[in-house]
Structure 1
């Protein structure tokens, strides 16, 4: 086992050990702040001063560390439309952030080359996955940021993937890379040079340079959102941002070598074929219950490059479970959590928990199947609204972002109780995205999609552990 994989598993274990015994911390329904009658969990009420970007608990502070349009170390501009993000250790105490940019073809003003792609001559065009015939150049991709926690400064940032479409979220791997996902089904017939709807792998490195853009086609072509990797097996779980989406897993032929091929599967609930988990008020299907575990099966999918973007339709017809806009996903130690942003009776969102089999991905898993449960469906605006990206905090709680006006960052305890960590007061019309803690656990990084800023939040994070 190499050191990066061992570190990944160790960190995941710390997360899961922390995910025990935390108590309820109520929210004041009128203000969205903490009920100060219960100080056993959370960090206290939020406050801010004029000019602050975030409203935060006492003792916490935030700073903008990167902005759209800044000149990067490679001579290009920081692109806009910030979205999902992952963090990695350099081994020397610094943090590498890899950040998605959810840009559409032809959005040159939001891209790294500026107006009319005036800076595009600075790179080798072979590094651009889809040049768009020079008319609608695809300017989605990723940037990499090297951050020094001691000085609280960015030491470098650079373009690390370009030529993709609507890079929404993704996920970290145990082998020190970021899987970035195209939330798109565009293809050559739409006037482009390549088909889209794939995942791409970006190495976490301080070395400035654009990675070669090779889609991992065996992981499927669909409206990708995010991924999470099981560290011991290398199995990749995938969400899909469609109103009638599936939940997928990819069994790679070789650990850590996703391009070497593998098997794409979708989740089926054993006792409830073609289950509809969305619970919309206007649906006539049976209600999918909260806090009930269901054993699952995994069904192989064929023709995974899906030129008709119909994987989810074919899968549901054959018995796969249906979800409402799968979004953020994160792996703990023995379970993973994923968000469905507009599921539920009032379409305010759902959080699901999947616990893999101890024989996950092998024929023996039929003896002890994995289980899925609807972990939380609050159906009220105080608990959360339209959960999007998520992560797991060092103390074990799930931390989610809201995709709505006046968005919040919210923690969720193992019992499903919620508390507010931050509120966007500087750019209240834009969503939060990409929450991720530094490897040390001392800094929470988060993006605000528009106008495009990355913030570092510091404070007494470890105090919450003392209250557990």
Structure 2
């Protein structure tokens, strides 16, 4: 593994926008969010890319599946999914999974300080249905296989050898989020009766060994919780989710994001955003579409990331093809909408290190096929 790359600066991405909490504004999220006026105002008409944005924001296409990335000779992968951004000198790198089976893996696009694309390349190959994942504080990308008895792979955003991390368990992995305070990696499971996990490495920064634990709670949507060791992380012959009595079930775990002693994760089966208050040892709902007064602006809840402002950005799998923002004041509102792509889903939201650019993909684009994926960048006055 090329350590030179992993030691370059901090990571801003899917799993940990502020590893030490220094950029996070202490978002409270004290009650399930309700619809209201978003911080950027109403969406304007669709632009040339079919994207509706608030005033002051613009979009551009970064890459299309099956086509060479502009300014490079690299062909972008099919079905782009989870992603994150990494500091690269004065520029940055955006990594993106490929949710196809077989031969999924992940790719990367490199940008210079002005946002010009300077390279694109493969960082993980030979894996299956790489859905979401997460960045680590030591600047690696955890790419998760969304298949039965799937693995987590640790890959290098600068290229080089990737490693399978068996100790993190074999199950239908979705997303990961790193917590440097408790030295844990949180993991979601995309099953209708799935669980929420954490992995405690034997040595922080080395994921080759450690302990897999499962979240235990006795109440439905809020209360206290504990962690219990999973006896057999390889998930065979008994699935990891069925090994611990009292493990709490979650309906289709999806995105996962950590900041400021809190981890948020989403469940697509019931359109919820869960908030786990790690310092207090409690959990609750940050959003539930069934608890919204009137029409719910956020459905098809999927990938999630956050900004230094304390805002959460939640992407839709279906719904109105929107990325919605949930503010620290418990307001949920659309931030952008993609038109003409109802057969797709929005994946991989991640901010550039300076917080001025948001990257994401439409996994199947206008064609509704995995070969039609489109990866975008939105630039504008994101609040700090």
TM range (shorter): 0.7 to 0.9
Question: What is the TM-score of this pair, normalised by structure 1?
Answer: 0.72
Residue 379 (structure 2) aligns with: 458
Matched, 1:198 2:163: no
> What pairs with 1:8-407 in structure 2 (closer than 5 Å)?
13-17=21-25, 19=27, 41-49=38-46, 51-71=48-68, 77-90=75-88, 92-105=89-102, 139-150=103-114, 152-185=115-148, 197-205=150-158, 209-212=159-162, 214-259=163-208, 261-269=209-217, 272=218, 275=219, 288-289=220-221, 292=222, 294-308=223-237, 310-315=239-244, 318-343=245-270, 349-357=271-279, 370-379=281-290, 381-407=295-321
- Shift in CA distance, 389/9, structure 1 to aligned 2, threshold 3 Å: closer
Alignment gaps of 5+ in structure 1: 28-34, 106-138, 186-195, 276-287, 344-348, 358-368
Residue 416 (structure 1) aligns with: 330
Q: How far apart are 1:406 and its partner, in Å?
A: 3.1
- Shift in CA distance, 49/232, structure 1 to aligned 2, threshold 3 Å: closer
What is the DSSP-based 3-state SS (H/G/I as helix, E as strand, rest coil) of the residue aligned with 2:254?
A: strand
8 A contact 1:406–1:429 mirrored in 2: no
Structure 2 distance, partners of 1:247, 1:223, is 11
Moved more, 77-86 or 46-55: 46-55
Highest RCO, 1 vs 2 (Cα 8 Å, sep ≥ 6): 2
Structure 1 distance, partners of 2:39, 2:333, is 6
What is the DSSP-based 3-state SS (H/G/I as helix, E as strand, rest coil) of the residue aligned with 2:125?
A: strand
Matched, 1:428 2:377: no
Q: How far apart are 1:409 and its partner, in Å?
A: 0.5
Q: How far apart are 1:405 and its partner, in Å?
A: 4.7
- Shift in CA distance, 384/21, structure 1 to aligned 2, threshold 3 Å: closer
8 A contact 1:446–1:456 mirrored in 2: yes
| RMSD (Å) for aligned C-alpha atoms | 2.7
What is the DSSP-based 3-state SS (H/G/I as helix, E as strand, rest coil) of the residue aligned with 1:218?
A: helix
Residue 3 (structure 2) aligns with: none
Structure 2 distance, partners of 1:44, 1:389, is 23
Residue 438 (structure 1) aligns with: 352
- Shift in CA distance, 203/232, structure 1 to aligned 2, threshold 3 Å: farther
- Shift in CA distance, 10/377, structure 1 to aligned 2, threshold 3 Å: closer
What is the DSSP-based 3-state SS (H/G/I as helix, E as strand, rest coil) of the residue aligned with 2:243?
A: helix
* 1:429-455 deviation line (CA, Å, top 9, x unaligned): 211001111110010111110121111
* 1:4-25 deviation line (CA, Å, top 9, x unaligned): 4699786652443163699x99
- Shift in CA distance, 424/309, structure 1 to aligned 2, threshold 3 Å: farther
8 A contact 2:29–2:286 mirrored in 1: no
Runs of 4+ in 1 over 6 A off after TM superposition: 5-9
How many residues matched? 364
- Shift in CA distance, 456/246, structure 1 to aligned 2, threshold 3 Å: same
Structure 1 distance, partners of 2:352, 2:53, is 18
- Shift in CA distance, 239/210, structure 1 to aligned 2, threshold 3 Å: same
Bigger radius of gyration, 1 or 2?
Answer: 1
- Shift in CA distance, 309/413, structure 1 to aligned 2, threshold 3 Å: farther
Alignment gaps of 5+ in structure 2: 1-6, 365-371
8 A contact 1:401–1:435 mirrored in 2: yes
Q: How far apart are 1:71 and its partner, in Å?
A: 3.1
Structure 1 distance, partners of 2:316, 2:154, is 26
- Shift in CA distance, 412/15, structure 1 to aligned 2, threshold 3 Å: farther
8 A contact 1:220–1:306 mirrored in 2: yes
Which of the pair is proportionally richer in helix? 1
Q: How far apart are 1:307 and its partner, in Å?
A: 2.5
Structure 2 distance, partners of 1:25, 1:241, is 24
